[in-house]
Amino acid sequence: MGKVRVSAFAVSQDGFGAGPRQSLDNPLGEGGTALHEWFFPTRTFRAMLGQAGGTTGPDDDFAARSMEGIGAWIMGRNMFGPVHGPWPDESWKGWWGEEPPYHTSVFVLTHHARAPLSMAGGTTFHFVTDGIHTALDRARQAAGEKDVRIGGGPATIRQYLDAGLIDEMHLVVAKVSLGAGEPFRVAQDPAAHGFRVVQRTETPQATHLILRRGTG
């Protein structure tokens, strides 16, 4: 069985994992795009968009590693889209166009049932209404020997943290402050959450932290 992990999850220096007031125009919340400025120039990100070129070096290395060995994803409904409450219809298919970057099964936590959604490139969104443990059981079954990646947002990751279900996290502390938004302060005190820092890498854009469960 693979690990349950968080990868390339960006937080601000003042401990926010997303900006305030998420909307269709601001899917990461107001100012939230600044958390990912380390990622956008990389060769890995450009390849995800079907573009050539991009920067290499440590930021790109971490970005590439974040996509390796993943057999299934779990995400919260806000990460899937800004539609709240019962689904009015099935027209919303995510932020990513007809071919999302996941290329595997993605389990979306929601309180409102919806039929599975198959997209180009091998991504299928499954909408799970009976909690984080059921979503993880299904994701592990889909992943086989590969890892399950908890994709976000902050509230979803906190639920899995509080349940003691995450083995490893790669957090990216962006060199920006948001002042408000959705809090996620694990990077500021990993030990309080049962993790130790096993790798720390500084780049001009960010600080990459690899955290593993346990203190030994």
- State pLDDT tens for residues 57-95: 999 999 999 999 999 999 999 999 988 899 999 999 999
Which class for 98: exposed (0-12), middle (13-18), buried (19 or more C-beta within 10 A)? exposed
Give the type of residue at 129.
T
The predicted-structure confidence for 117-174, as pLDDT tens digits, reads as follows: 999 999 999 999 999 999 999 999 999 999 999 998 999 999 999 999 999 999 999 9
CATH number at residue 127: 3.40.430.10
| Angle (deg, nearest 10), helices 132-143 and 154-162 | 90
The predicted-structure confidence for 4-30, as pLDDT tens digits, reads as follows: 999 999 999 999 999 998 888 888 899
CB 16 within 8 A of CB 180: yes
Mean model confidence pLDDT for the chain? 94
- Is 89 part of a structural domain of the chain? no
- Is 183 part of a structural domain of the chain? no
Range of the domain at 32: 4-81+99-175+195-206
Whether 216 shows a pLDDT value over 80: the answer reads no
Cα–Cα distance for residue pair 187/190, rounded to 1 Å: 6
- Is 164 part of a structural domain of the chain? yes
- Is 211 part of a structural domain of the chain? no
Instruction: State the pTM of this model.
Output: 0.94
Task: Match 């219809």 to its residue by tokens.
Answer: 89
- Is 94 part of a structural domain of the chain? no
Which class for 27: exposed (0-12), middle (13-18), buried (19 or more C-beta within 10 A)? middle
Task: Count up the domains in the chain and report the number.
Answer: 1
- Is 143 part of a structural domain of the chain? yes
- Is 186 part of a structural domain of the chain? no
Rounded to whole angstroms, the maximal C-alpha distance in the chain is 50
189: tokens are: 């005190």
- Is 154 part of a structural domain of the chain? yes
Long-range contacts of 109-114 (CB under 8 A, 24+ apart): 109/74, 109/75, 109/76, 109/77, 109/135, 109/156, 110/77, 110/80, 112/85, 112/86, 112/87, 114/87, 114/90
CB 179 within 8 A of CB 34: no
